[in-house]
Amino acid sequence: MLPARLRTETRDWRRIGGSVAPIVVLILICLLLSLLTPRFLTSENLINVVRQSSLNAIVAAGMTLVILTGGIDLSVGSLLAVSSVFSAGTLAAGSSPLAAILAGIGIGLAFGVANGLIITVGDVAPFIVTLGTLTIARGIALVYTNGAPIMAMDNDFRFLGRGGIGFLPVPIVILIVVYLAVYFVLNRTTFGSYVYAIGGNQEAARLSGVRVRLIKAATYAISGLLAGLTGVILTGRLGSAQPNLGSGDELDAIAAVVLGGTSLAGGRGGIVGTLVGALIIGILSNGLNLLNVNAYYQPVAKGVVILIAILVDRRVRASSAA
Amino acid sequence: MLHSRHLGLFMAIVLLLIGLAGPAASAAQEPVLLGLSVSTQSNPFYRNLAEGVVAEAQALGAQVTVLSADDQLEKQISDVEDLIAAGVDALLINATQDGAVGVVEQAAQAGIPVITLQRGVPSSLVTSHIGTNNVLIGQLAAQWLIDRLGGTGRIVVLEGIPGAASSEDRKTGSTPVFEAAEGIEIVAQQTAEYDRATALSVMENILQATPDIDAVFCYNDEMAMGALAALEAAGRDDVIVTGIDALPDALEAIRAGKLTMTIRIPVYDMGRLGVRYALEAIQGNMVPLRSVIPIEFITAENVDAPAPAPFEGPIKIGVSVSTQSNPFYQLLAQGTADEAAAMGYEATILSADDQLEKQISDVEDLIAAGVDALLINATQDGAVGVVEQAAQAGIPVITMQRGVPSSLVTSHIGTDNVLIGRLAAEWLVNRLGGTGRIVVLEGIPGAASSENRKIGSTPVFEAAEGIEIVAQQTAEYDRATALSVMENILQATPDIDAVFCYNDEMAMGALAALEAAGRDDVIVTGIDALPDALEAVRAGKLAMTIRIPVYDMGRWATRFGVWAVTHDIAVPVQNTIPVQFITQETLAQ
């Protein structure tokens, strides 16, 4: 049983779509790292770690919408690669940086729409469909590049990845815009409430007049678009595009969503938790690098922290539900 | 009239003949001159080596000067100096001792490719070394004996001169094999100093102590002959005796059914191979840095078997590469295809898309299509089954870069990542003038290439007093990961002089992080010579990358495959290809 005050806070957090446990875990990790290394709690490093986490966080924002409807999107890592190579390829072909950025985001959106249509109209399980597009997109990236990286050194193009607005790096600005937008959509629009409704009980939502297919397809389209955007940002950061970019990134995004307290069964959770989850994963990698931990122990440490965070989350939920 | 017409015809033929002979005579250039310095010609083994060199040089139209050092270092040094002065185009040397290194490097620095045969010298300037591998010989000989005994038996081991490299290496190879075999018990392990008389008395003593033995495993034939004499005197003809060297009287003993097995080292072909490497090196072509000569088991069944008849006719070569979506393996496949075409043979190339299942069915298809030789770049160790299937069907198998754990493979050619790690680390230490704070970015933890590059490089950094590794992290061979890891490291320890990356992808990621942080004072090195890494070297951003001549690897693999089919020459079983350092200076040339 938690103290009354914390319980109220917990309820507040859940109302806006998250759980307090991930935040507690995040604060604990930050405290621990501050004690272990003086290099952690500096403004440069904090900006650095948020910038690094922003890529996973943006992908995870789209993933949150998909998972809230009870679905899954395994294709995001490959979409990131396809968008990266298409934008760099467009740039290399002599188009303007803006056209290159739009090409990258557009191909992500196109794949997202295809995912959504096959899942809803074709009535195939999201796991299977997005597994299919995962391999197709990766293959297209390989075919398009013939396996070799494409340079993208144009300074205007790289603004999305390397630029800054004031003291804030552009990826962080994009992160803030994306999260404000998704937060608004989820909590202040009927679309958002339909997303929760579908995840809670798809049949009931359908019977009460929700256009289930359209809403679900839209979540995959948004997920694809955000993966495409991330691919463009990453290309700008690296100054080149590679067909093998982002392989396995879908798992990081899913981990961020689940760490943030969103249920894989759908209907429960929210976008704020996902941001916290992405930060936990990013800070963990950052901290292990700062502490110069042996490479063999790093995956163990990451896995253990993720499991602890989820166990704590479950306990807090169970006791606050009681 | 008739007469003059005949005369005219005669004149026409003469003119035609002169016309044919003329261009050939004028095209005959100065023939290539090779120099061979052999440690001694009084030992039949090394005489045989020199004969191989002379025969192959004649066959390929090169001249060769052979000098024997009579096992004296001083004589060898002046011999080599004489050869350099005579203007040889390449030097083949079978060193008397390590001390010959100085004069060998003198030749190398004069731009003469140096091929060392059997006895090498410790120098990184040697173009190629061809020799045996005594660890491997020990291992194979021990396994042969265990198989012959059906896995159970009590054995005696006679070692060579304690401390001699050949004896210690044969021990390193054989002892673990015996220890791993459950039914095998080593009842005595003694030295007999590679000597026949010593072996006689040692064996007599052992027979007194433990008469109940099944086999005697000798590190050379001299000792095997001594042991046989002791056994014969004791009336024991039930003991299996094995030797190594294929000496003439050991072969006699095999014919008489006394000695069970000896090992022949095809030293004549070693000499021939040396000439082939030398001629390629003179042309400026890549030759393997190290090649290990195969061995033959000689038993009563094959001691008098005629040499296999040379194979003539068209050869079909099957190539199975792990993936063609990676430019590195694409080049490998291109090398095999181009060389097959140059030799006038047909090659079928299949790509497994990094999937073991596809590779297995690819190889099955190639076997079914009746290929004469199989060149394979394995996706994983799991391809071993289908590789052995091919070998058992009589198809020689050459593995390229990624091998499989099988003793049925004819030859392997590839890089040595331990060596690459060592050379790259030495380069960086040198470049830093021996002092500096460095960051190491490792590859995927557990991946063989990454672990081996670590084994090669870490001791070099640790041994350099002025070098401090301020961070050693994995970036998973991945560009995006390296970017983040490097950013984090710059947060933790901004005071660094160099970043040592286990591949170019990570080097490019690290460069992106350094560039974003406005750091252009940090030396970054990579490995692989990817196209955009070369761009970065040209632009002065990346200090160095290492090129693995994978195209030439494919060409040599094809030659080995063809040689194995035609029985032209003994095909070296293990081949390490050299690496090239790529810097702004080398690119400018």
HEC string of chain A equals: CCCHHHHHHHHHHHHCCCCHHHHHHHHHHHHHHHHHCCCCCCHHHHHHHHHHHHHHHHHHHHHHHHHHCCCCCCCHHHHHHHHHHHHHHHHHCCCCHHHHHHHHHHHHHHHHHHHHHHHHCCCCCHHHHHHHHHHHHHHHHHHHHCCCCEECCCCCCCHHHHCEECCEEHHHHHHHHHHHHHHHHHHHCHHHHHHHHHHHCHHHHHHCCCCHHHHHHHHHHHHHHHHHHHHHHHHHHHCEECCCCCCCHHHHHHHHHHHCCCCCCCCCCCHHHHHHHHHHHHHHHHHHHHCCCCCCCHHHHHHHHHHHHHHHHHHHHHHHHC
Q: Do A289 and B473 touch (CB under 8 A)?
A: yes
Q: Write down the pLDDT at residue B119.
A: 87
Q: Do B492 and A239 touch (CB under 8 A)?
A: no
Give B490 to chain A, closest Cα distance, Å.
9
A138-149 burial code (b ≥16 CB/10 A, e <16): bebbbebbebeb
| φ, ψ at B442 (rounded to 5°) | -85, 165
Task: Check if B326 contacts A (Cβ < 8 Å).
Answer: yes
How would you class A47 by CB atoms within 10 Å of its CB: exposed for 0-12, middle for 13-18, buried for 19 or more? middle
Q: From CA B465, how far away is CA B479, in angstroms rounded?
A: 31
Overall pTM > 0.90: no
Q: From CA A59, how far away is CA A175, in angstroms rounded?
A: 10
Q: Do A237 and B442 touch (CB under 8 A)?
A: no
- B417-547 topology per CATH: Rossmann fold (3.40.50)
Residues of B in contact with A295 (CB under 8 A): 442, 445, 472-474
Give A171 to chain B, closest Cα distance, Å.
14
Per-residue pLDDT, averaged over A174-185, amounts to 96
Q: Do B472 and A292 touch (CB under 8 A)?
A: yes
Q: Do A162 and B516 touch (CB under 8 A)?
A: yes
Q: Do B488 and A243 touch (CB under 8 A)?
A: no
* Residue whose tokens read 């014969």: B232
Among chain A residues, the shortest Cα distance to B512 is held by A238
Among chain A residues, the shortest Cα distance to B535 is held by A151
Please, what are the averages of pLDDT over each run of 10 residues along chain B (589 residues)? 50 46 48 92 85 96 92 90 93 90 93 93 91 93 96 94 85 95 93 88 89 95 93 92 92 94 94 96 94 94 84 90 82 94 93 87 92 93 90 95 89 94 96 96 88 95 95 92 95 95 95 94 94 93 95 96 93 94 91
Any bridge partners for residue B264, and if so which? Answer: B296
Residues of A in contact with B478 (CB under 8 A): 244
Per-residue pLDDT, averaged over A112-122, amounts to 97
Per-residue pLDDT, averaged over A82-101, amounts to 95
Pick the CATH number of A48-321 from 1.10.3470, 3.40.50, 1.20.1270, 1.25.40: 1.10.3470
Q: Which of A146, A290, A299 sits opposite B488 (nearest CB)?
A: A290
Per DSSP bridges, beta strands A164-165 and A168-169 are antiparallel
Q: Do A289 and B530 touch (CB under 8 A)?
A: no
Q: Do A242 and B505 touch (CB under 8 A)?
A: yes
Residues of A in contact with B488 (CB under 8 A): 45, 48-49, 52, 285-286, 289-290
Q: From CA B68, how far away is CA B36, in angstroms rounded?
A: 8
Instruction: Name which of B326, B491, B499, B511 to mutate to probe chain A: the one with the most chain A Cβ atoms within 10 A of its Cβ.
Output: B491
ipTM over 0.90: no
Q: Which of A48, A149, A296 sits opposite B530 (nearest CB)?
A: A149
Per-residue pLDDT, averaged over A31-38, amounts to 91
Lowest-pLDDT range, A48-57, A142-151, B138-147, B313-322? A142-151
Half-sphere exposure of B439 (CA within 13 A, CB side): 32
Q: Do A39 and B442 touch (CB under 8 A)?
A: no
Interface contacts A/B by beta carbons within 8 Å: 85
Among chain B residues, the shortest Cα distance to A44 is held by B491
Residues of A in contact with B325 (CB under 8 A): 142, 146-147, 243
Q: Do B479 and A238 touch (CB under 8 A)?
A: yes
> pLDDT tens digits, residue range A240-281?
888 888 888 999 999 999 999 898 889 989 999 999 999 999
What DSSP designation does B544 have? B
Q: Which of B445, B492, B509 sits opposite A290 (nearest CB)?
A: B492
Q: Write down the pLDDT at residue A321.
A: 59
What residues contact residue B383 under an 8 Å CB cut-off, 6+ apart? Answer: B356, B359, B360, B363, B376, B404
Q: Write down the pLDDT at residue B212.
A: 93
What DSSP designation does B210 have? -
Q: Which of A142, A147, A238 sits opposite B509 (nearest CB)?
A: A238
Highest-scoring range by mean pLDDT, A4-8, A165-169, B155-159, B201-205 = B155-159
Give B482 to chain A, closest Cα distance, Å.
10
Residues of A in contact with B474 (CB under 8 A): 295, 298
Q: Which of B327, B442, B505 sits opposite A147 (nearest CB)?
A: B327
Q: Which of A237, A238, A290 sits opposite B491 (nearest CB)?
A: A290
Terminal alpha carbon distance of chain A? 8
Task: Check if B325 contacts A (Cβ < 8 Å).
Answer: yes
B120-151 burial code (b ≥16 CB/10 A, e <16): bbebeebbbbbbbbbebbbbbbbbbbbebbee
How would you class A18 by CB atoms within 10 Å of its CB: exposed for 0-12, middle for 13-18, buried for 19 or more? buried
The SS3 of residue B113 is coil
B33-132+268-292 classified as CATH 3.40.50.2300 = yes
Q: Write down the pLDDT at residue B26.
A: 39
Q: If you classify domain B134-264 with CATH, what class do you get?
A: alpha beta
Give A39 to chain B, closest Cα distance, Å.
5
- B316-414+557-571 topology per CATH: Rossmann fold (3.40.50)
What residues contact residue B311 under an 8 Å CB cut-off, 6+ apart? Answer: B565, B566, B567
What share of chain B in percent tops pLDDT 90? 71
Task: Check if B473 contacts A (Cβ < 8 Å).
Answer: yes
Domain boundary assignment for chain B: 33-132+268-292, 134-264, 316-414+557-571, 417-547
Q: From CA B79, how far away is CA B65, in angstroms rounded?
A: 10
Give B555 to chain A, closest Cα distance, Å.
22
Q: Do A238 and B326 touch (CB under 8 A)?
A: no
pLDDT higher than threshold 50 for residue A9: no
Q: Write down the pLDDT at residue B44.
A: 78
Residues of A in contact with B479 (CB under 8 A): 238, 240, 242, 245
Residues of B in contact with A239 (CB under 8 A): 512, 515
Predicted confidence band at A305 (pLDDT cuts at 50, 70, 90)?
Answer: confident
Q: Do A238 and B512 touch (CB under 8 A)?
A: yes
Q: From CA B339, how far away is CA B347, in angstroms rounded?
A: 9
Per DSSP bridges, beta strands B574-576 and B290-292 are antiparallel
Predicted confidence band at A296 (pLDDT cuts at 50, 70, 90)?
Answer: confident
Mean pLDDT, chain A, rounded, equals 88
Instruction: Give the amino acid at B372.
Output: D
Token digits for B90? 């390449």
